[in-house]
A and B are shown apart, each in its own frame.
Chain A
Protein backbone atom coordinates (compact mmCIF):
# COMPACT_ATOMS: atom_id res chain seq x y z
CA UNK A 1 0.00 0.00 0.00
CA UNK A 2 1.48 3.35 -1.01
CA UNK A 3 1.69 6.09 1.58
CA UNK A 4 0.50 9.55 0.79
CA UNK A 5 2.58 11.62 3.26
CA UNK A 6 0.91 14.87 2.42
CA UNK A 7 -0.57 17.50 4.65
CA UNK A 8 -4.06 18.80 4.00
CA UNK A 9 -4.85 22.44 4.62
CA UNK A 10 -7.97 24.49 4.17
CA UNK A 11 -7.98 26.05 0.71
CA UNK A 12 -5.91 23.32 -0.95
CA UNK A 13 -7.20 22.77 -4.46
CA UNK A 14 -7.89 19.35 -5.92
CA UNK A 15 -6.73 18.65 -9.47
CA UNK A 16 -9.82 19.30 -11.65
CA UNK A 17 -11.42 16.55 -13.70
CA UNK A 18 -12.92 17.24 -17.14
CA UNK A 19 -15.40 14.94 -18.86
CA UNK A 20 -17.04 15.20 -22.26
CA UNK A 21 -20.53 13.78 -22.10
CA UNK A 22 -21.73 11.77 -25.08
CA UNK A 23 -24.88 9.81 -25.77
CA UNK A 24 -22.70 6.74 -26.22
CA UNK A 25 -21.27 7.17 -22.70
CA UNK A 26 -24.77 7.58 -21.28
CA UNK A 27 -25.96 4.45 -23.10
CA UNK A 28 -23.01 2.46 -21.79
CA UNK A 29 -23.59 3.68 -18.22
CA UNK A 30 -27.27 2.75 -18.35
CA UNK A 31 -26.62 -0.49 -20.23
CA UNK A 32 -23.99 -1.65 -17.73
CA UNK A 33 -26.82 -2.26 -15.28
CA UNK A 34 -29.11 -3.83 -17.84
CA UNK A 35 -31.19 -0.67 -18.27
CA UNK A 36 -31.54 -1.02 -22.03
CA UNK A 37 -35.14 0.12 -22.48
CA UNK A 38 -35.98 3.67 -23.55
CA UNK A 39 -35.66 6.20 -20.76
CA UNK A 40 -35.14 9.91 -20.25
CA UNK A 41 -31.41 9.14 -20.46
CA UNK A 42 -31.37 7.21 -23.71
CA UNK A 43 -34.43 8.19 -25.72
CA UNK A 44 -35.48 11.68 -26.84
CA UNK A 45 -39.16 10.79 -26.90
CA UNK A 46 -39.04 9.45 -23.35
CA UNK A 47 -37.15 12.56 -22.21
CA UNK A 48 -39.84 14.77 -23.77
CA UNK A 49 -42.61 12.73 -22.14
CA UNK A 50 -41.12 12.50 -18.66
CA UNK A 51 -39.02 15.63 -18.31
CA UNK A 52 -40.41 17.95 -20.95
CA UNK A 53 -36.93 18.46 -22.42
CA UNK A 54 -36.01 18.47 -26.09
CA UNK A 55 -33.28 15.91 -25.68
CA UNK A 56 -31.89 13.29 -23.34
CA UNK A 57 -30.04 14.07 -20.14
CA UNK A 58 -27.33 12.21 -18.26
CA UNK A 59 -28.18 10.54 -14.99
CA UNK A 60 -27.00 12.53 -12.00
CA UNK A 61 -25.28 9.34 -10.95
CA UNK A 62 -22.79 9.86 -13.77
CA UNK A 63 -21.79 13.19 -12.23
CA UNK A 64 -21.60 11.41 -8.88
CA UNK A 65 -19.23 8.87 -10.42
CA UNK A 66 -17.01 11.62 -11.86
CA UNK A 67 -16.82 13.40 -8.49
CA UNK A 68 -15.79 10.09 -6.94
CA UNK A 69 -13.09 9.71 -9.61
CA UNK A 70 -11.69 13.18 -8.90
CA UNK A 71 -11.42 12.46 -5.19
CA UNK A 72 -10.08 8.93 -5.70
CA UNK A 73 -7.30 10.35 -7.84
CA UNK A 74 -6.50 12.90 -5.14
CA UNK A 75 -6.60 10.67 -2.07
CA UNK A 76 -5.54 7.42 -3.74
CA UNK A 77 -7.71 4.36 -4.27
CA UNK A 78 -6.44 2.65 -1.11
CA UNK A 79 -7.84 5.48 0.97
CA UNK A 80 -10.83 6.71 -0.99
CA UNK A 81 -12.34 3.36 -2.00
CA UNK A 82 -12.68 2.42 1.68
CA UNK A 83 -13.48 5.69 3.42
CA UNK A 84 -14.62 8.07 0.69
CA UNK A 85 -17.92 9.88 0.50
CA UNK A 86 -19.53 12.21 -2.03
CA UNK A 87 -22.78 14.11 -1.53
CA UNK A 88 -23.82 15.99 -4.68
CA UNK A 89 -26.83 18.16 -5.48
CA UNK A 90 -27.81 18.35 -9.14
CA UNK A 91 -28.72 21.89 -10.15
CA UNK A 92 -28.93 21.73 -13.94
CA UNK A 93 -29.20 18.90 -16.45
CA UNK A 94 -26.04 17.57 -18.07
CA UNK A 95 -26.67 16.69 -21.72
CA UNK A 96 -24.82 14.90 -24.49
CA UNK A 97 -22.27 17.33 -25.96
CA UNK A 98 -21.61 19.05 -22.65
CA UNK A 99 -18.11 19.36 -21.28
CA UNK A 100 -18.25 19.31 -17.51
CA UNK A 101 -15.45 20.29 -15.19
CA UNK A 102 -15.23 19.12 -11.60
CA UNK A 103 -13.25 21.18 -9.11
CA UNK A 104 -12.63 20.70 -5.43
CA UNK A 105 -11.19 22.64 -2.55
CA UNK A 106 -10.30 21.40 0.94
CA UNK A 107 -12.56 23.06 3.47
CA UNK A 108 -11.24 21.51 6.65
CA UNK A 109 -10.02 18.47 8.52
CA UNK A 110 -11.18 16.77 11.67
CA UNK A 111 -9.76 14.01 13.82
CA UNK A 112 -11.43 10.64 13.62
CA UNK A 113 -10.73 7.47 15.55
CA UNK A 114 -8.95 6.02 12.53
CA UNK A 115 -7.24 9.08 11.05
CA UNK A 116 -8.18 12.52 9.84
CA UNK A 117 -11.26 13.25 7.81
CA UNK A 118 -10.49 15.70 5.02
CA UNK A 119 -13.51 17.61 3.74
CA UNK A 120 -13.68 18.87 0.16
CA UNK A 121 -16.18 21.28 -1.40
CA UNK A 122 -17.09 20.15 -4.92
CA UNK A 123 -18.38 22.23 -7.80
CA UNK A 124 -19.35 21.13 -11.31
CA UNK A 125 -19.63 23.53 -14.25
CA UNK A 126 -20.48 23.04 -17.88
CA UNK A 127 -18.77 24.64 -20.89
CA UNK A 128 -21.00 27.71 -20.57
CA UNK A 129 -19.87 28.30 -17.00
CA UNK A 130 -23.22 27.23 -15.56
CA UNK A 131 -23.04 25.31 -12.32
CA UNK A 132 -24.59 21.88 -12.82
CA UNK A 133 -23.82 20.48 -9.39
CA UNK A 134 -22.44 21.33 -5.97
CA UNK A 135 -21.68 19.28 -2.93
CA UNK A 136 -19.00 17.90 -0.74
CA UNK A 137 -16.83 14.88 -0.40
CA UNK A 138 -14.51 13.47 2.17
CA UNK A 139 -12.04 10.75 2.95
CA UNK A 140 -10.45 9.54 6.15
CA UNK A 141 -6.70 9.62 5.70
CA UNK A 142 -4.90 7.30 8.16
CA UNK A 143 -2.60 9.18 10.52
CA UNK A 144 0.30 7.02 9.32
CA UNK A 145 -0.13 8.56 5.85
CA UNK A 146 0.21 12.11 7.14
CA UNK A 147 3.35 14.09 8.01
CA UNK A 148 4.27 13.85 11.72
CA UNK A 149 2.73 16.51 13.92
CA UNK A 150 5.03 18.95 15.70
Chain B
Protein backbone atom coordinates (compact mmCIF):
# COMPACT_ATOMS: atom_id res chain seq x y z
CA UNK B 1 0.00 0.00 0.00
CA UNK B 2 1.38 3.38 -0.98
CA UNK B 3 2.24 5.80 1.81
CA UNK B 4 0.02 8.84 2.16
CA UNK B 5 1.87 12.12 1.62
CA UNK B 6 0.57 14.47 4.31
CA UNK B 7 2.81 17.32 3.31
CA UNK B 8 1.41 20.73 2.43
CA UNK B 9 1.73 22.06 -1.11
CA UNK B 10 4.01 25.08 -0.94
CA UNK B 11 2.23 28.43 -1.31
CA UNK B 12 5.22 30.70 -1.72
CA UNK B 13 3.17 33.87 -1.15
CA UNK B 14 1.77 32.53 2.11
CA UNK B 15 5.08 31.17 3.42
CA UNK B 16 6.06 33.18 6.48
CA UNK B 17 9.61 34.35 7.09
CA UNK B 18 10.46 33.28 10.62
CA UNK B 19 8.54 30.01 10.48
CA UNK B 20 10.54 27.65 12.67
CA UNK B 21 10.35 23.91 12.09
CA UNK B 22 10.23 21.09 14.58
CA UNK B 23 13.67 20.27 15.91
CA UNK B 24 15.43 17.48 14.08
CA UNK B 25 17.78 15.05 15.82
CA UNK B 26 20.20 12.53 14.37
CA UNK B 27 23.22 10.50 15.36
CA UNK B 28 26.38 11.32 13.43
CA UNK B 29 28.28 8.06 13.07
CA UNK B 30 31.91 7.41 12.20
CA UNK B 31 30.69 5.59 9.10
CA UNK B 32 28.86 8.72 7.95
CA UNK B 33 32.01 10.77 8.45
CA UNK B 34 34.22 8.23 6.64
CA UNK B 35 31.83 8.02 3.68
CA UNK B 36 31.60 11.80 3.51
CA UNK B 37 35.40 12.10 3.52
CA UNK B 38 35.66 9.63 0.65
CA UNK B 39 33.03 11.52 -1.29
CA UNK B 40 34.78 14.86 -0.93
CA UNK B 41 38.23 13.29 -1.33
CA UNK B 42 39.52 14.90 1.83
CA UNK B 43 40.56 12.64 4.74
CA UNK B 44 40.54 15.62 7.09
CA UNK B 45 37.14 17.04 6.14
CA UNK B 46 35.60 17.98 9.47
CA UNK B 47 32.01 18.99 8.82
CA UNK B 48 30.21 15.89 7.56
CA UNK B 49 27.05 17.70 8.65
CA UNK B 50 27.11 19.57 5.32
CA UNK B 51 25.92 16.49 3.42
CA UNK B 52 22.92 16.12 5.72
CA UNK B 53 21.34 19.29 4.29
CA UNK B 54 19.70 19.85 7.65
CA UNK B 55 18.53 23.35 6.84
CA UNK B 56 16.04 22.06 4.26
CA UNK B 57 15.24 18.67 5.78
CA UNK B 58 12.38 19.83 7.97
CA UNK B 59 11.11 22.13 5.24
CA UNK B 60 10.96 19.10 2.92
CA UNK B 61 9.20 17.09 5.60
CA UNK B 62 6.48 19.72 5.85
CA UNK B 63 6.10 21.05 2.32
CA UNK B 64 5.97 19.57 -1.12
CA UNK B 65 6.94 21.60 -4.18
CA UNK B 66 8.38 21.25 -7.67
CA UNK B 67 11.87 20.70 -6.28
CA UNK B 68 14.68 23.15 -5.90
CA UNK B 69 18.15 24.15 -6.91
CA UNK B 70 20.74 25.42 -4.49
CA UNK B 71 21.61 28.93 -5.63
CA UNK B 72 23.76 30.04 -2.72
CA UNK B 73 25.00 28.50 0.48
CA UNK B 74 26.80 30.00 3.46
CA UNK B 75 28.44 27.91 6.14
CA UNK B 76 29.82 28.94 9.54
CA UNK B 77 32.22 26.60 11.34
CA UNK B 78 32.14 26.62 15.14
CA UNK B 79 33.26 23.17 16.31
CA UNK B 80 33.76 20.00 14.25
CA UNK B 81 31.13 17.41 15.11
CA UNK B 82 32.26 14.30 17.00
CA UNK B 83 31.34 10.81 15.83
CA UNK B 84 28.84 9.08 18.08
CA UNK B 85 27.21 12.29 19.32
CA UNK B 86 23.59 13.15 18.71
CA UNK B 87 23.01 16.43 16.96
CA UNK B 88 19.98 18.66 17.35
CA UNK B 89 19.10 20.98 14.52
CA UNK B 90 16.90 24.06 14.69
CA UNK B 91 15.87 25.32 11.26
CA UNK B 92 13.70 28.16 10.09
CA UNK B 93 12.67 30.20 7.06
CA UNK B 94 15.11 33.10 7.15
CA UNK B 95 13.94 34.96 4.06
CA UNK B 96 12.21 34.70 0.70
CA UNK B 97 12.53 36.85 -2.38
CA UNK B 98 11.56 37.20 -6.00
CA UNK B 99 14.37 37.84 -8.49
CA UNK B 100 13.95 38.02 -12.25
CA UNK B 101 10.53 36.48 -11.88
CA UNK B 102 11.81 33.48 -9.94
CA UNK B 103 10.99 32.49 -6.40
CA UNK B 104 13.66 31.86 -3.80
CA UNK B 105 13.44 30.59 -0.24
CA UNK B 106 16.22 31.10 2.29
CA UNK B 107 16.49 28.51 5.06
CA UNK B 108 18.81 28.70 8.03
CA UNK B 109 19.81 26.04 10.55
CA UNK B 110 21.98 25.76 13.62
CA UNK B 111 23.32 22.43 14.87
CA UNK B 112 24.25 21.69 18.49
CA UNK B 113 25.52 18.39 19.86
CA UNK B 114 24.27 16.50 22.91
CA UNK B 115 26.90 18.20 25.10
CA UNK B 116 25.71 21.65 24.06
CA UNK B 117 28.63 22.34 21.71
CA UNK B 118 27.68 24.68 18.90
CA UNK B 119 28.65 22.86 15.68
CA UNK B 120 27.76 24.96 12.66
CA UNK B 121 25.28 27.26 10.98
CA UNK B 122 24.14 26.98 7.39
CA UNK B 123 22.11 29.39 5.27
CA UNK B 124 20.82 28.23 1.90
CA UNK B 125 19.09 30.09 -0.92
CA UNK B 126 16.99 27.70 -2.97
CA UNK B 127 15.51 28.53 -6.35
CA UNK B 128 12.07 26.99 -6.45
CA UNK B 129 11.90 26.62 -10.24
CA UNK B 130 14.55 23.92 -10.74
CA UNK B 131 13.72 23.41 -14.41
CA UNK B 132 15.41 26.78 -15.01
CA UNK B 133 18.71 24.90 -14.75
CA UNK B 134 17.91 22.78 -17.81
CA UNK B 135 16.54 25.79 -19.71
CA UNK B 136 19.67 27.79 -19.08
CA UNK B 137 22.37 25.16 -19.16
CA UNK B 138 20.70 22.48 -21.22
CA UNK B 139 22.18 19.01 -21.39
Q: A32-B48, A40-B130 are in contact. Are A82 and B78 (CB under 8 A)?
A: yes
**Supplied contacts A30-B51, A60-B70, 17 more A-B pairs, CB within 8 Å:** A32-B51, A33-B52, A40-B130, A50-B130, A51-B134, A52-B131, A52-B135, A53-B137, A61-B53, A61-B70, A64-B73, A68-B75, A69-B45, A77-B46, A81-B79, A82-B79, A93-B133
Q: Which of A27, A83, A85, A92 contacts B137 (CB 8 A)?
A: A92
Binding site for A on B (CB under 8 A): 32-33, 35-36, 38-42, 44-48, 50-53, 66-67, 69-80, 130-131, 133-135, 137-139
* A52-B135, A65-B50 known; A77 vs B40 contact (CB < 8 Å): no
Instruction: Among B39, B69, B72, point to the contact of A28 (Cβ < 8 A).
Output: B39
Q: How far does the alpha carbon of A33 sit from the alpha carbon of B77 in the complex, in Å?
A: 19
Partner-B contacts on A (CB < 8 A): 19, 25-35, 40, 48, 50-55, 57, 59-62, 64-66, 68-69, 72, 77, 80-90, 92-93, 135
Contact of B40 among A53, A55, A62, A81 (CB under 8 A): A62
Q: Which residues of B contact A31 (CB under 8 A)?
A: 35, 39
**Residue from the list B45, B66, B77 in contact with A84, Cβ < 8 A:** B77
Tell me which residues across on chain B come within 8 A of A52, comparing CB atoms.
130-131, 133-135
- B40 near A50 with CB under 8 A, answer no
Q: Within the assembled complex, what's the spacing in Å between the Cα atoms of A61 and B71?
A: 10
Q: State in angstroms the CA–CA spacing of A35 and B77 once bound together.
A: 23
Whether A25 lies near B77 (C-beta < 8 A) is no
Contact A51 B50 (CB under 8 A): no
Known: A61-B51, A65-B45, A81-B77. A29 touches B39 (CB 8 A): yes
Identify B36's interface contact among A28, A86, A89, CB under 8 A. A28
Evaluate whether A25 and B39 lie within 8 angstroms (CB atoms) in the complex, with A51-B134, A82-B77 already known: yes
Q: Which of B52, B79, B133 has the most CB of A within 10 A?
A: B133
A64 touches B50 (CB 8 A): yes
Q: Which residue of A lies closest to B46 (CB)?
A: A81
- With both chains docked as a complex, state the minimum distance between the C-beta of A81 and any C-beta of chain B, in angstroms: 5
How distant is the Cα of A38 from the Cα of B36 in the complex, in angstroms? 18
User: Once the chains are docked, how many angstroms separate the CA of A126 from the CA of B53?
Assistant: 24
In the bound complex, what is the Cα–Cα distance between A57 and B139 (angstroms)?
A: 11
Asked if B76 and A85 sit within 8 Å, CB to CB, the answer is yes
